[in-house]
Amino acid sequence: MQELKKVNASTAIARFIHTEYASGIFLLLSVVLAIVWANSSGSDVYHHLWEVELGPLSLHAWINDGLMAIFFFVIGLELKREFTEGELSTLGKALLPMTAALGGMLVPAIIYYLINYGSPASTGWGIPMATDIAFALALLSMAGKHIPVSVKVFLSALAVADDLGAILVIAFFYSNGINFISLFAGAAFLLVLFAGNKFGVKTIWFYLFLGIGVWTGFLLSGVHATIAGVLVAFSIPANVAEKLEGGLHPWVAFIIMPLFALANSGIRIGADFGQALLNPVSFGVAAGLVIGKFTGIFSFTWLLVKAGFSTLPSMASWKHIAGVALLGGIGFTMSIFISGLAFEDPVFINQAKYGILLASVLAGIMGILVLKRVR
C-alpha cells in the first residue's frame, strides 16, 4: 500500500510538472498578446473590454475575484496533496523547500521595503515575494533534459510552499475593512463543509454549492475572496480532491491563468519605458525578485545544508540550486495579483508591473544560462 502511494505521488508530480510546463507557454503567449494589444491602435478596445459590466462586477473583477478564486482553489488542492502524500508530507521532505521558500519571501520583501521606506508605496512589499510556478517550471524544462528530476521536484515544492506564504500574506495583510457578519456567514458555510468531510460526504455538488456560499461571504466581508478557494480546498475529502485537481488543473492552467495574464499584463511600452523603470516601486520590485529571490533561496538552502539539517536533492549540485534560485525571481502571476491588492493608485500598479516584467525576463534568462552550463 505504501509503495502504491509512492507511485501515485510520483505520477501526480510528473503530471503536475508537465502541465505547468505547457501552461507556461500559454502564459507567455498571453503576456505577449496583452502587451502587443495594449500598444496597438486597438489599445482603447483592450482597456475598455475589461471594464464591461457583467451583473454586479466588471469583467476584470470577475476574472480577478471570481476565476482567480478557482485558481487559488486548485492551489489549495495542490497544497493538500503535498502536505498529505507529497514533498511536504514529512518534516524531512518539507524542511529544505520550505526553508528555501521562506528565504525567498523574506529577503525580497525586506529589499523592497527598504527601497520604498517612508513612501506610500511601501505597502507593496508583498509583490516580490511570489514565484510563478508555471513560468519557472517551463523555463527549467527548456534548460535541458540533463536537469535531474529531483531538481524539478525541489522547485515545485518550493513554489508550492511559496504559494502558501503568498496566501497567508494576502489573508493577513491585504484584506481590508472586515465586515464580520459576512465573514461569519462564509465561515458558517465552511464549517458545514468540514462537517460534511468528517461525516463522509463525497458528493462534489455538495462542496461546490456550499463553496460558492463561502466565496460570497468572503467577497462581501473584505477578506479577499480568493482565500475562500484555499479554505474550501482543505475541506474536501482526499479522494474527491484528487479527482477535482485532475479535472480543474487543465482549465486553470490553459484558460484561467492565461486569461488573467491577458487582462492584467497590458502595459504600455513607449519611448519612456526606461524612465518608467526609474522609480522606487519598479526598482524595488525588480531588485526584490532578481536579487532578493536568488539571495534568499540560495543562502537559506546553503545554511540549512551546511548546518547538517538537510541535504541537497538527489544528483543536484549547488549550480542547480543557483539556477533554481534565479528562476524563483519569475514572479509573474501571483506578483501581478498582489500588486492589485497592495495599491489603489493605478500609477503604482503600472510601475509594479514594469518591475515584474523586467525582473521575470532577467531572472528567466539568467536562470536558463546557469542551468545550461551544469553537466
pLDDT of 61-76, one tens digit each? 888 878 888 888 888 8
pLDDT band at 19 (very low <50, low <70, confident <90, very high): low
Q: What's the CATH number of domain 2-175+224-266+273-372, 3.40.50.300, 3.40.50.2300, 1.20.1530.10, 1.10.3720.10?
A: 1.20.1530.10
pLDDT at residue 324, rounded to an integer: 93
Cell reading at 296: 534568499
Q: How confident is the model over 307-332, as a mean pLDDT?
A: 89
pLDDT at residue 18, rounded to an integer: 61
Cell reading at 341: 491588492
How far apart are the C-alpha atoms of 140 and 123, rounded to whole Å?
31
Name the residue among 296, 284, 293, 297 with its Cα closest to residue 342: 284
Q: How confident is the model over 124-129, as a mean pLDDT?
A: 94
Least trusted range by pLDDT, from 101-115, 264-278, 308-322: 264-278
Name the residue among 123, 172, 125 with its Cα closest to residue 344: 123
Residue 150's contacts (CB-CB under 8 Å, 6 or more residues apart) are 313, 314, 315, 316
pLDDT at residue 21, rounded to an integer: 64
More confident residue, 249 or 355: 355
Start-to-end Cα distance in the chain = 37
More confident residue, 213 or 56: 213
Q: How confident is the model over 54-59, as a mean pLDDT?
A: 86
Q: Is the pLDDT score of 5 beyond 90?
A: no
Count of alpha carbons within 13 angstroms of residue 126, beta-carbon side: 24
More confident residue, 69 or 12: 69
Residue 217's contacts (CB-CB under 8 Å, 6 or more residues apart) are 182, 183, 184, 185, 186, 187, 188, 189, 228
Cα angle 174-178-183, degrees, rounded to a multiple of 5: 110
Average pLDDT, the chain: 84
pLDDT band at 130 (very low <50, low <70, confident <90, very high): confident
